[in-house]
Amino acid sequence: MKVLLIGSGGREHALAWKLAKSPKLSKLYAAPGNPGIADHAELVPLDIDDHAAVATFCLETAIDLVVVGPEAPLVAGLADRLRASGIATFGPSAAAAQLEGSKGFTKDLCARYEIPTGAYRRFTDAAEAKAYVREQGAPIVVKADGLAAGKGVTVAMQLDEALAAIDDCFDGAFGSAGAEVVVEAYLDGEEASFFCLSDGRTALALATAQDHKRVGDGDTGPNTGGMGAYSPAPVMTPGMVARTMKEIIEPTIRGMAESGHPFTGVFFAGLMITAKGPELIEYNVRFGDPECQVLMMRLKSDLLDLLHAAATETLDQVSAEWSDDVALTVVMASKGYPGAYDKNTPIAHLPESADGEKIFHAGTALKDGALVATGGRVLNATATARTVADAQARAYGLVDRVEWENGFCRRDIGWQAVARERN
Ligand code: AMP
Ligand code: GLY
């Protein structure tokens, strides 16, 4: 099979690395890709915003499957355009991608199908939103409705913060994403990420992970795209996974199909495991980054089989096997991230990785033949082991052998799970 992979992050490097292991793969292309992805794929200079050009490339090259990594091209309708040309595509339609693109859309679906989630109201007017927040009291959560690069959510422990967040949204801090605001009840518990494939009718549970969103050790400082992750998430016991499938994922698949927008692709469900059980915080319609990196390290099955089955409504014919090992990844970022940072700083050396270790590239580029850091999140030092503590030690062993002066990372990825192992 010939496959085109869309994207250029650490997530796509992990997907490329795993797809390349498939005996069914005859050729992998990636657009735009990065220097790590180039080890496994031919990079093609396609403008992925030009959907017609992507479709033309696929038809001319006889691509059998397109795998779309990031959410932006999905929300913009790339998968619709490709499927309209008869090209099998892993990733939801623009209408189904509203599960990530509009928090209000998802909350309304939850209400209709009795999917457990925090009680909420949608607002297009600041005064009404504020009156509701005053009535409910803190803690309370204020969210810009649309895509805001993970920055549109305020978990307000005090009323003042919630009121200020409402002003920020309506004053345009998140552009059009903040024209509507969702105010939601605060959920107390432990967070986990759950991944599950869907072909529109059938669900196939993948695996679980836990992310570290804050930039600083001890989960302090501003939110980021994710500074590290590990899989599996200990809080997601087999019983909790079964409940998540039955109470959250299956009604979502049913709801999307009944609304005329069947969901093809991967559900990345952000869950809060509360005293009542799993509750949905949000859906993403793509693999997490860096959660994907740890999932791919643990996946024993052929990824190409799974993604192709999801794209061709044959998910009931495949199954996914996972290693019992823990995988852990540490994100190395440019100093200053998530704020401003220098670009094109040299990465002098990357270490060789042994079996069960891998450095995935995110924001890297080659400049005059030398590797440089171009993005905020740049490298993902990833390792597997029997325990979280050992996977952590191996991943930091890799980090410590990287020579990149402008890089930094958290030193405590996996700390909660390591503490749990000690008890
Ligand atoms: P979201 O972008 O919706 O995933 O929210 C970002 C983060 O805010 C989540 O990962 C949670 O840590 C937190 N959060 C979102 N909604 C809630 C909620 N209802 N209760 C408590 N924390 C929340
Ligand atoms: N790591 C969180 C995300 O991919 O949204």
Q: For the ranges 76-80, 101-105, 144-148, 264-268, which has the lowest average pLDDT?
A: 144-148
What φ, ψ does residue 185 adopt, rounded to 5°? -65, 145
C-alpha span between 413 and 367 (Å, rounded): 31
Sketch out the chain's domains with CATH numbers.
2-96 (3.40.50.20), 125-179 (3.30.1490.20), 189-317 (3.30.470.20), 326-422 (3.90.600.10)
3-state secondary structure of 318: coil
State the average pLDDT for the chain: 95
Nearest to 289 by CA among 217, 208, 174, 380: 380
CA-11 nearest atom, ligand 2: 4
Nearest to 288 by CA among 337, 224, 364, 358: 224
Q: What is the pLDDT of residue 102?
A: 86
Is any atom of ligand 2 closer than 6 Å to the C-beta of 288?
yes
Q: What percentage of the chain has pLDDT greater than the value 70?
A: 98
Ligand nearest to the CA of 227: 2
C-alpha span between 332 and 357 (Å, rounded): 15
Ligand 1 site, CB within 6 A: 118, 141, 143, 150, 153, 155, 184, 186-187, 191, 270, 281-282
Strands (E), 91-202: 120-123, 140-144, 153-156, 181-185, 190-199
Q: What is the pLDDT of residue 409?
A: 98
Ligand nearest to the CA of 154: 1
Give yes or no for residue 197 having a pLDDT over 80. yes
Structure confidence by residue, pLDDT tens digits, 286-301: 999 999 999 999 999 9
Is any atom of ligand 2 closer than 6 Å to the C-beta of 200?
no
User: Residue 408: how many CB atoms within 10 A of its CB?
Assistant: 16
Is any atom of ligand 2 closer than 6 Å to the C-beta of 211?
yes
Q: What is the pLDDT of residue 261?
A: 96
Is any atom of ligand 2 closer than 6 Å to the C-beta of 69?
no
Report pTM: 0.94
Q: What is the pLDDT of residue 150?
A: 61
Structure confidence by residue, pLDDT tens digits, 371-382: 999 999 999 999
- Asked, as a colleague might, if the bond just before 222 is cis with ω within 30 of 0, I would say no
Distance 419 CA to ligand 1 centre (A): 23
Is any atom of ligand 2 closer than 6 Å to the C-beta of 226?
yes
Distance 309 CA to ligand 1 centre (A): 32
3-state secondary structure of 297: helix
CA-291 nearest atom, ligand 2: 1
Long-range contacts from 108-113, C-beta under 8 angstroms, 24+ separation: 109/252, 109/255, 109/256, 109/259, 110/280, 112/255, 113/251, 113/252, 113/254, 113/255
Distance 269 CA to ligand 2 centre (A): 10
Is any atom of ligand 2 closer than 6 Å to the C-beta of 305?
no
Q: Whose CA is nearest to atom 19 of ligand 1?
A: 186
Q: What is the pLDDT of residue 180?
A: 85
Pocket test for ligand 1, best of 102, 121, 133, 153 (most atoms within 8 A of CB): 153
Pocket test for ligand 2, best of 99, 208, 211 (most atoms within 8 A of CB): 211
Q: Tell me the average pLDDT across 318-333.
A: 98
Q: What is the pLDDT of residue 149?
A: 63
pLDDT-based confidence at 178, cuts 50/70/90? Answer: low
Distance 153 CA to ligand 1 centre (A): 7
Give yes or no for residue 40 having a pLDDT over 70. yes
Q: Tell me the average pLDDT across 331-342.
A: 97
Q: What is the pLDDT of residue 176?
A: 73
Confirm if 357 and 398 have CB atoms less than 8 A apart: yes
Q: Whose CA is nearest to atom 4 of ligand 2?
A: 288
C-alpha span between 292 and 12 (Å, rounded): 8
Pocket test for ligand 2, best of 291, 293, 295 (most atoms within 8 A of CB): 291
Ligand nearest to the CA of 229: 2
Give yes or no for residue 354 having a pLDDT over 80. yes
Pocket test for ligand 1, best of 155, 181, 193, 220 (most atoms within 8 A of CB): 155
CA-150 nearest atom, ligand 2: 5
Structure confidence by residue, pLDDT tens digits, 252-295: 999 999 999 999 999 999 999 999 999 999 999 999 999 999 99
Give yes or no for residue 183 having a pLDDT over 90. yes
Q: What six digits make up the tokens of 131?
A: 């009156």
